[in-house]
Amino acid sequence: MDYNKETVQEKTDELGIPEKLDKKKKEPRFSISKWLLFLFIAIYIVLTFYRIPLLTTLGRYLIVEHTPEKADLIVCLSGKKVERSLAVVDAYRKGLAPYIFRAKEIRPDGFDYLKKGVRNYPTDFDLFKLILEGFEIPEKVILSPEERVGNTLDEVRLVRKFILDRGFKSLLVITSLTHSRRAWQTFKKVFKDDDVKIISLPSHYQLFNPKDWWTKRKYTKELIFEYQKLIYYKIAYLI
């Protein structure tokens, strides 16, 4: 009798459960680490086979471009003065609008001191006018209030105030390709209660190509920064 009891004790654990049955109960069929490994492999396969289409889609999403048509005013957003200024020249020469709006940017730190030593040092707005003058566009068609802006949202708000005072009903918005999505969404938000037509015409003088932007460090950085700004505008301004 004692021999049978000893045999049973050797085959059970502290709770009296047979060891083999206890182990089967405790060990899951797939552990978390196995699921994570499987998920990693699946993601790797998807990214490997669909990498190019995914990257191209990321690039294309940033670009909002409409069919060119006549409007009351060409709005050139600040920054990237060469590529945007040249697109303004093209739009004006095609007769798409009789006037050009360009906001003045907030002056950088130290600018006033710099002007004391270099009186003729140009601002971005001065360079914009210089480019248009070089293409024989008359200065009188350039409209610009004295109020200065520091970001896209403030600039669009200034545009709204400016055009509503003058009764303009349609705008051509010229900016960079990579900036056109955020600019378009900002214009839609700011003008949502106004009867004003917004036409996005980003500049193709920017050599950003959705099909190969990741092969150029400059545009890789620009795309990453622009997506960060899109997320920030969505969270901070609900745009």
Q: Are 142 and 132 in contact (CB under 8 A)?
A: yes
Residue 165 phi/psi, 5-degree rounding, is -65, -25
Domains contained in the chain, CATH given: 73-209 (3.40.50.620)
Whole-number pLDDT of residue 3: 46
Choose among 21, 43, 39, 41: nearest CA to 31: 39
Cα separation, 239 vs 223, whole angstroms = 18
Whole-number pLDDT of residue 229: 97
Whole-number pLDDT of residue 44: 63
Q: Tokens representing 4?
A: 């049978």
Whole-number pLDDT of residue 119: 84
Whole-number pLDDT of residue 29: 57
Cα separation, 83 vs 68, whole angstroms = 18
Burial 160-199 (b: 16+ CB within 10 A, else e): bebbeeeebebbbbbbbbbbbbbbbbbbeebbeeeebebb
List, as one string, the DSSP characters of 103-130: PEEPPPTTHHHHHHH-TTPPPHHHHHHH
Residues 6+ apart with CB under 8 A from 31: none
Cα separation, 105 vs 126, whole angstroms = 11
Whole-number pLDDT of residue 223: 97
Burial 123-156 (b: 16+ CB within 10 A, else e): ebbeebbebbeeeebeeeebbbeeebbeebbbbb
Q: pLDDT 10s per residue in the chain (239 long)?
A: 454 554 444 555 555 555 554 555 555 555 777 777 767 676 766 666 668 889 999 999 999 999 999 999 999 999 888 999 999 999 999 999 999 999 999 988 998 888 888 888 888 999 999 999 999 999 999 999 999 999 999 999 999 999 999 999 999 999 999 999 999 999 999 999 999 999 999 999 999 999 999 999 999 999 999 999 999 999 999 99
